[in-house]
Chain A
Amino acid sequence: MPKHYRPPGKKKEGTAATFITRTKAVRNLQVSLPLFRKLCILKGVFPREPKKKIEGSEKTYYHVKDINFLMHEPLRGKLWDIKAYKKKIKKARGKKNKDLVERLIDRQPTYKLDRLVLERYPTFVDALRDLDDCLTMVHLFATLPAMESEHIQVDRIHNCRRLSHEWQAYISRTHCLRRTFISVKGIYYQAEVEGQKITWLTPHALQQVVTDDVDFNVMLTFLEFYEALLGFVNFKLYHSINVKYPPILDPRLEALADELYALCRYIVAGSRTLSGNSQSGISSESEQTGNKKMNIESEESEVRLAQLQHQLPANERGALMNMMEDVNGADEEDQDTKECKSLFKDFKFFLSREVPRESLLFIIPAFGGLVSWEGDGAPFKETDEDVTHQIVDRPSLGRKFLSREYVQPQWIYDCINARIILPTEQYLLGRIPPPHLSPFVDNKAEGYVPEYAETIKRLQAAARRHVLPLPGLDAMDLADPGSLLAEGIIDRAEANEAAEQRQKLLKLEQQYHDELNMELQGITFSAVASKGNSQISTGDVEVEEEGANKALDQVAEDELNFSKVSMSRKQRGLMEAIQIGKERKRNKIELLKKRRKNSEANRNG
């Protein structure tokens, strides 16, 4: 008799009945393995971990319900159809029936993923929650070259580019970008949309390294779903700011590969008319604006008009932006957005050729700045008098304007992360900028604070004080960031002292209250005194030297030992694991501190 004998006619129960191996699932579904993979990816079905792996630990298990879910998926039939259709084409090609081949290829069956998107993400927030991978993948493919050998078509790459730009345009327009980080892997962005933190990574805009240890079929299947998802998400987002989707772009700017800028302009144009204060010279529009009472139909027609007539002179942009903000801002925006929106409000940036233009064109408007670049279609020229900052990334520059500051691109990213305008001295042309720190790390939890993070913190504190009207500071002081820094430090020291004093007072008060309470409860003074004495005695012990300390250590160790002895084995293992983890973390921090000390010593000596 086999080990797991089950009498005939008796049904399986438990794990054996609820979980199924992949091979069996594939056979049940009557699809090939690649097709099964595609179905799983599109449908979002993943293996699950059974409590007991009945058919061996090396196998992958799916839940039976998941497989039944796939079984009833219409997409499965569609994929079958496509497979059969491909055979038809092949046959016609074999018979040299060119006419038929052409006709068949023209009318290939296709499938849509909208239903799947809705099924996987019933609410919009669900979709936003899972958008990280989607955005990262789409941005990655937007930088890849089209490869026929890997079936990466040009139009898919273009679609990825378009989708990513549309997303960035929305983020930039609604000022919901929160953090950015230039890493070796690419640039991380974190935005907050409808309360969801969405983080994505864009590769550096360079020729990507295409390796051959990657199965593009899998990636392209994922991309297929992600393209659909991001399209619908973008539609919803554009809808929410009353802009038509898909956007119609300025062909001139598009040809110059400034899609992002074209999109921004488009959005501005689209929402501008809704504000009802259009200034462009079309007569019908002006008539409508003349009638302050606007009904919805006219509004809609105006939207259409604006969309057709989206090529606006570039210099009107700033004014329009401000108008927009007056109308639909303020009431619905939270504190964070306001802060982000006004970070670069008074600045005008100009980008040199060598800086990552796409990234900066995305983030500077997201934080309220005006930006231009070298090339056709730029809103203003390099010689513009109002430019406050020029972003350069080269060792030296021949001709300089005295009216503006020449900073490295890292300054922008650091300012955004710190949410203050950092002093530019360290970021000036030709200098090695200070370390670029990740905004995603909680330094306190990590237990190690890099030097520059402390500096930034001090500057932030100073800036926050600066916002409030202070009696001691006059305008001159405020203008100089260096003095601000010093001010901040002094303030901090003062604050510390004050806090200590307050604590002392509080302690005394607390003691008084305690004694009162005790008296009420009827505890005699002598008991309290003895307790106090014991405290004093322990204090004395501490004063006494190592012997006592050792004894105390011993006691503590014994305590630990006892608690360990009386724990169950599982709990003991858990506690040891926790301790090992803590130890590892401590070692890491120690190593960092050691390296820092070494580097400081090197710098000094």
Chain B
Amino acid sequence: MAKLKIRDKKVKIAITKDKKKKDKADPEAVPELPVESSSPTRDEEHSDSRDVSQSSDSERSCESNEVEGNDLHHPAEESDSSEDEVAPRNTIGDVPLEWYKDEEHIGYDIAGRKIKKHARKDKIESFLAGVDDSKNWRKIYDEYNDEEVELTKKEIKLIKRLLKGSTPHAEVDPYAPYVDWFDWEDKGHPLSNAPEPKRRFIPSKWEHKKVVKYIRAIRKGWIKFEKPEEEPRHYLLWGDDFTSAENKRQGLKYIPAPKPKLAGHEESYNPSLEYIPTQEEINSYQLMYEEDRPKFIPKRYESLRNVPAYENALKEGFDRCLDLYLCPRTRKKRINIDPESLKPKLPSRKDLKPYPSKCYLEYLGHSGPVKSVSVEISGQWLASGSTDGTIRLWEVETGRCLKVWEVGQPVNHVAWNPLPQLPILAVSAGHDVLLLDTGLGDAEEQHRITELLHMEESASTDDRDLVSWAREEMYGGIRLKHSKAVANVEWHRKGDYFTTVMPKGDTKAVLLHQLSKKQTHNPFKKLRGLAVSAVFHPTRSIFFISTKNHIRIYDLLKSKLINKLETGLQEVSSVAVHPGGDNLIVGSKEGKMCWFDMDLSSRPYKILKTHPKDITNVAFHRSYPLFASSSEDCTAYVFHGMVYSDLNQNPLIVPLEILRGHASSKYGGVLDCKFHPRQPWLFTAGADSVIKLYCH
């Protein structure tokens, strides 16, 4: 066996001796026993080539091969090669040469002497030897046997062939024709002995069916192979016929979507400076409600190249799409009216004169807010009641205070008897109602009055009575003691009956009193609501009671409810009846005034929103077509309220004048207003303790 190392090429090749021998023997053996010899040859080739590849990989793997080689081959068997004549010097056996690296011997010979290693030549020596010796290139150092081997020409040829990758021996023909040496006859059965079936020789029925199907489909045009012809996508859709009837849109009337708003100056990429909000303004947008917040904040770019892509472009396009197909559309008349045209055409105020417009007189004397005024039927005298507990009697034309009554309690309401021959004053002060003799009129009248107001002591001591009638000690009248505070006193037109209203009186809230008989009735026990005021009809025996939300109308003769007016107001404060008797005005604490036409409906004919604050009182003039309202905002309104005798014509209501002049105080503004019975004059009682007379 031999281990060869070719230093020049850096390739180690392991070639076994016996293989070489066999290779040599091969050509002779081929003719006799081709079968036996061919396979080993192949094996050898195979193993050789493997060896080459492995040895070229790394030196370590080469070493392991050496080990294998040692195992497999025994040099003693047959030796005809030149190396075999010399016995191997190495006797260390199958151990790595490493172990003997530092030793000077390499094994022992049969006599037990050390086999010495050759002395190693140094580089220069070996170089010089190489220079001198022309055959040096074919010398190989055999490390295992520690000797230099000179390769023969044949061996070099073999190595060259191996390096080329061809068979080592040139004589071997790798592509020799294959000879089938196997004797097939009488060697048993093949895999299947069945005869070929017929179906292998005839066309398939099912395939045929499928083909027929396809053919039919193709013939009938169900399957088409050529691409459908491209029709021109666009053509002249709208011809030139402008008049034909078919140019009408079908279906419902088309409502075109409103066009998107066009961009204003602020949307410019470079708007004027005034369109750009300051930083504070932008911050203040955050405090706004989301709906109020401006959707677009203008921004300024100094040149066109700086403008970025708009981030909401797609979103806005999408929103527009949604609007187009989701928003309900209706046709709406664009309101582009002049606000002036909305104002109703009213007759000129000049034509509606006379009406009170200027303050003519002031009646000074009260020291507290004047709650109520009342004018005598002749128009000569004026009575006023104040919260300072006094009632004063004034002469209208001069403003002279004629008389003062001290009642000690705040006066709520004063009312003159409507009969001219009976100048009696009804006063509600606290829980009491006083009937006072004013001392006006001639002696005969005075006599009658004193008779009328005469009371006997004994008559008034029954607790079961609604009201106790008693003599007024101080001023010589009658005192009607009520259970609760009395808000209102109103006379019947004939001057015999009068009514009082106690808002907190529950079932006894509205009472009717008869002066001549000194009797009291309580016909209205069920009122359903807090009574506010009560008024007699000016001509007929009809009675109006206003609760907070309704006006109830009673027939006094039949003593039953005739009508109920729905005011729709939150809290009624005062009622006045037109002297004709068919119309009614109601003032409310929300500053609204309702005009009822009772022939027309039980709902207001007109609601006038006049005052910003509570209406305290409303009043009709007895003869002129005037009415007025007074309010806590220190003003009084005067209206023209014409009622026509023609039933088809609605009442005409025209606001005429706003009367100012009262100073505001903590008790309110204007607390009462009354018209003069004959003249178009208005008396207003203020919380600033002044009474004013407005004349035309």
Interface, chain A (partner B; CB < 8 A): 37, 40-41, 44, 46-49, 60-61, 63, 65-66, 69, 103, 106-107, 114, 117-124, 126-127, 129-130, 132-133, 136-137, 140, 144, 181-186, 188, 199, 203-204, 206-211, 213-215, 218-219, 222, 231-232, 234-236, 239, 245-246, 354-356, 393-394, 408-410, 432-433, 435-438, 440-441, 450-452, 558, 561-567, 569, 571-572, 574-575, 578-579, 592-593, 595-596, 599
Contact = CB atoms under 8 A, between A and B. Distances in A.
Contact of B329 (A49, A208, A210): A49
Contacts of B322: 218
Q: Which of B234, B250, B322 has the most CB of A within 10 A?
A: B234
Given A569-B607, A575-B342, A211 B310 contact: no
A214 B233 CA distance: 30
B213 interface: no
Interface string B645-664: 00000000111011000000
A206 B252 CA distance: 42
8 contacts: A140-B317, A144-B314, A206-B308, A211-B315, A219-B318, A231-B234, A565-B608, A575-B339
Given A123-B242, A436-B271, A438-B263, 5 more contacts: A119-B250, A213-B315, A393-B303, A438-B262, A566-B654
A569 B568 CA distance: 14
Interface string B243-267: 0001111111011110110111101
B67 interface: no
Nearest to B228: A107
B296 to A, nearest CB: 8
Nearest to A69: B251
A558 B657 CA distance: 8
Nearest to A232: B237
Contact of A236 (B238, B242, B337, B607): B238
Q: Which of A218, A231, A435, A450 has the most C-beta atoms of chain B within 10 angstroms of its own C-beta? A: A435
Contacts of A122: 246-249
A466 B248 CA distance: 49
Nearest to A68: B251
Interface stretch (B31-39, B272-280, B486-494, B547-555): B272-280
Chain B binding surface, main DSSP class: loop
Contact of B264 (A66, A234, A440): A440
Contacts of B305: 354-355, 393-394
Contacts of A571: 342
Contact of A184 (B249, B299, B320, B609): B299
Interface in B288-339: 298-299, 301-305, 307-318, 320-322, 324-330, 335, 337, 339
A108 B251 CA distance: 31
B303 A46 contact: no
B339 A578 contact: yes
B173 to A, nearest CB: 51
Contacts of A592: 274-275
Contacts of B236: 235-236, 239
Interface centre among A46, A60, A144 (most CB of B within 10 A): A46
Given A181-B263, A239-B236, A563-B343, A47 B327 contact: yes
Given A103-B223, A203-B309, A235 B274 contact: no
Nearest to A596: B274
A361 to B, nearest CB: 15
A549 to B, nearest CB: 17
A119 B264 CA distance: 35
A581 B299 CA distance: 26
Nearest to B256: A130
Given A185-B263, A409-B304, A440-B262, A48 B315 contact: no
B344 A183 contact: no
A37 B302 CA distance: 44
Given A136-B317, A222-B324, A199 B273 contact: no
B460 to A, nearest CB: 49
7 smallest A-B Cβ distances: which pairs? A440-B262, A563-B343, A596-B274, A435-B272, A595-B274, A206-B309, A124-B238
A561 to B, nearest CB: 7
Interface of B: 223-224, 227-228, 233-238, 242, 246-252, 254-257, 259-260, 262-265, 267-276, 278, 298-299, 301-305, 307-318, 320-322, 324-330, 335, 337, 339, 342-344, 346, 607-610, 637, 653-655, 657-658
B218 to A, nearest CB: 12
Contacts of B637: 565
Nearest to A446: B264
Contacts of B255: 46, 48
Contacts of A246: 233-234
Contact of A214 (B238, B269, B314, B330): B314
Nearest to A558: B658
Contacts of B259: 132, 199
A355 B228 CA distance: 45
A382 to B, nearest CB: 19
Contacts of B301: 184
B271 A435 contact: yes
Contacts of A65: 251-252
A67 to B, nearest CB: 11
B307 A204 contact: yes
Contacts of B324: 41, 46, 133, 222
A408 B269 CA distance: 14
Contacts of A69: 250-252
Contacts of B246: 122
A218 B325 CA distance: 10
Nearest to A579: B339
A66 B315 contact: no
A438 B265 CA distance: 5
Contact of A408 (B248, B274, B304, B321): B304
B237 A209 contact: no
Contacts of A562: 346, 654-655
B249 A120 contact: yes
Contacts of A596: 272-274
Given A222-B321, A566-B608, A46 B327 contact: yes
A528 B238 CA distance: 68
Nearest to A354: B305
Contacts of A214: 314-315, 318
A183 B330 contact: no
Given A188-B262, A567-B342, A203 B234 contact: no
B223 A140 contact: no
A124 B238 CA distance: 6
Contacts of B223: 103
A578 to B, nearest CB: 5
A235 B262 contact: no
Given A181-B268, A592-B274, A218 B321 contact: yes
A137 B249 contact: no
Given A63-B252, A122-B247, A183 B304 contact: no
A118 B237 contact: yes
Nearest to A602: B273
Contacts of B278: 595
Nearest to A435: B272
Contacts of B321: 137, 218-219, 222
A450 B228 CA distance: 61
Contact of A393 (B304, B318, B329): B304
A601 to B, nearest CB: 12
B303 A408 contact: yes
A174 to B, nearest CB: 17
Contacts of B318: 214-215, 218-219
Contacts of A203: 309-310, 313
A114 B227 CA distance: 22
Nearest to A229: B237
A119 B236 CA distance: 14
B314 A209 contact: yes
Contact of A208 (B269, B272, B313): B313
Nearest to A159: B233
Contacts of A63: 252
B633 to A, nearest CB: 12
